[in-house]
Amino acid sequence: MAGNPAKKTPVQSFIKGIFAATFLSAVFLSVGSFLLAVITIVLGPVASLTLATQSYRGLCPHCGNDVCGHAPVFQCHLCKNKISVRDNSFHRIV
Ligand SMILES: [Zn+2]
């Protein structure tokens, strides 16, 4: 007998293609978000470390107290005046 029951119709292959595309895009999305998470985890501490090295410590030009802050401008935590950082030293902002 020369029957051919396994012959696919165009609709079946179309549905199969949609399933395959959905599966592939789900895999790509999960891989992409996984890579994004890994990059965030790796680069997060590095970025905060870079920011931490840009903090300066010295005497407040307004009140003379020992303060530390981030460039380019920060506020003295004692006298609440603004301090600008230029050439590794503190300057008043009037
Ligand atoms: Zn001050």
Task: Give distance in angstroms: CA of 75 to centre of ligand 1.
Answer: 8
What is the pTM assigned to this prediction? 0.45
pLDDT tens column, 13-29: 888 999 999 999 999 99
Task: Give distance in angstroms: CA of 81 to centre of ligand 1.
Answer: 6
- The answer to whether the beta carbons of residues 73 and 83 sit under 8 Å apart is yes
pLDDT at 42: 86
Task: Give distance in angstroms: CA of 61 to centre of ligand 1.
Answer: 7
pLDDT above 90 for 90: yes
Task: Give distance in angstroms: CA of 55 to centre of ligand 1.
Answer: 16
